[in-house]
Amino acid sequence: MIKILEYGKVQNGEIFARVVPQTKVEDIVADIIKNVRENGDKAVFEYCKRFDGAELASLLVSKEEIDKAVKEVEPRFLEVLKKAAENIRAFHSKQKREGFEIKRENGVVMGQKITAVDRAGLYVPGGTAAYPSTVLMDSIPAKIAGCEEVVMVTPPNREGKINPVILAAAHIAGVDKIFKVGGAQAIAALAYGTESIPKVDKIVGPGNAFVAEAKKQVFGAVSIDMIAGPSEILVVADEKSDARSVAADLLSQAEHDIMASAVLVTNSFELAKAVSIEIEKQIPLLLRAEIARKSIDNNGKIIVAPDLLKAIEISNEIAPEHLELCVDDPFEYLDKIKHAGSVFMGRNCPEALGDYLAGPNHTLPTSGTAKFSSPLSVDDFVKKTQYTYFTRDALKEVCEDVAFFAQKEGLTAHAKSAVIRFEEK
């Protein structure tokens, strides 16, 4: 059963305790990465056979396989995928930025230009669940940014096939190449390249502990989006909130993973008790009831705060991945929210809306990293290049200042590089 904690009557350590996954996979992942770097496709094929049970003739998903998959997907679901893609494109198109240039009267020109990374790599988990939403959320911003090529990797089943809904989503999103490989070996292949799989500049997408560790180890050879932790939801709800809806929203994250955390912060002890009862009613009805049960029992909590402002203070300290503001006028409190991955406003905005259809990205900072990180966006697929132009007269105006500054740092060659241009030959 979910814990109910009264703020001010228990230790803050219990209020703000966070799930910390314990994994010891560093050495295994390091060996996989080394093997893929040294042996390329040969290593990847071997890992596909060992871990996925698939003997593949080719890693690349063919156009025929993609076309067949699109035909196999339920027409209504295809339409929903297209609607979601439209919303995601509309939202992320607003994120695209232009460079700038500053021109001064003395001829100095300074500026910044924005350039997309050449090739983006997208990891899409396989296993027991298929997440076409991840395909849309992670590839569409890359396309909007202007990446020349978006490469997707995802593990095959034992027959060497990819779930049709994953391929359909990739088709709708405009993914350029898809490869049948998952796990740490997929991350290694994207980071260093193999005979079949091209080296990318940025790797994005969620995965298990092996994938997360591999992303950590290849960082530097490539850029990565983030090291994602377990799913999180925090609901701030007042005394007028519907206990059934709040319980359902909490369980929407609890069903993800036994390590997921669902937290309610409320100013009403009555709502806290009602939500606790509702959670117990709803868990047995879930398809993933066993997962949700463990998540709620081990990581779930209800925090009773003296008022909504304190509830938001608590939320800011936790810095959740998903934050729901279940109040009549959520915009009244929006400016007080400092740290959250994505905020769902009002009583009619379940977090699931953001997972699938609304448009804002669902790849979000977890584990408190919302204090300094942002959702995946077009910005993740671009880089900024500065440029500077000085005329001879403009350099002469500041030459002595540059040299003086350099000498203060003990860098005489720096100083010389400025003044030498005005010394007699």
With both helix axes pointing from N to C terminus, report the angle between 183-192 and 26-39 in degrees, rounded to the nearest 10. Answer: 50
Q: Determine the Cα–Cα distance for residues 209 and 421; give it in Å rounded to an integer.
A: 56
The DSSP call for residue 51 is I
- Conformation bin of residue 219: beta by default, left when phi > 0, alpha when psi is -120 to 50: beta
Nearest CA-CA partner of 373 in 336, 322, 333, 339: 339
Which tens digits make up the pLDDT trace of 133-174? 999 999 999 999 999 999 999 999 999 999 999 999 999 999
Q: Determine the Cα–Cα distance for residues 270 and 243; give it in Å rounded to an integer.
A: 10
Share of the chain residues as helix, strand and coil, in percent rounded to the nearest 5: 45, 15, 35
Strands 202-204 and 261-266: unpaired
Residues 6 or more apart whose CB falls under 8 angstroms from that of 274 comprise 243
**Mean pLDDT score of the chain, rounded to an integer?**
96
Which tens digits make up the pLDDT trace of 10-56? 888 889 988 777 778 999 999 999 999 999 999 999 999 999 999 99
- Which one is catalytic: 92, 171, 256, 322? 322
> Residues 13, 14, 17, 21: is their CA dihedral positive or negative?
positive
Which tens digits make up the pLDDT trace of 195-205? 999 999 999 99
Which tens digits make up the pLDDT trace of 313-340? 999 999 999 999 999 999 999 999 999 9
Which tens digits make up the pLDDT trace of 231-289? 999 999 999 999 999 999 999 999 999 999 999 999 999 999 999 999 999 999 999 99
Which tens digits make up the pLDDT trace of 368-400? 999 999 999 999 999 999 999 999 999 999 999
The DSSP call for residue 212 is H
> Is the confidence at residue 128, as pLDDT, over 70?
no
pLDDT at 13: 86
Q: Determine the Cα–Cα distance for residues 261 and 11; give it in Å rounded to an integer.
A: 19
Contact 52, 184 (CB under 8 A): no
Amino acid at 424: E
Give 127's pLDDT tier (boundaries 50, 70, 90). low
φ, ψ for residue 160, nearest 5 deg: 80, 25
Q: How many CA atoms lie within 13 A of 311 on its CB side?
A: 26
In the residue annotation, 321 being an active-site residue is answered as yes
> Residues 397, 402, 403, 404: is their CA dihedral positive or negative?
positive
Strands 322-326 and 342-345: parallel
- Which one is catalytic: 321, 324, 351, 362? 321
Q: Work out the average pLDDT over 119-125.
A: 97
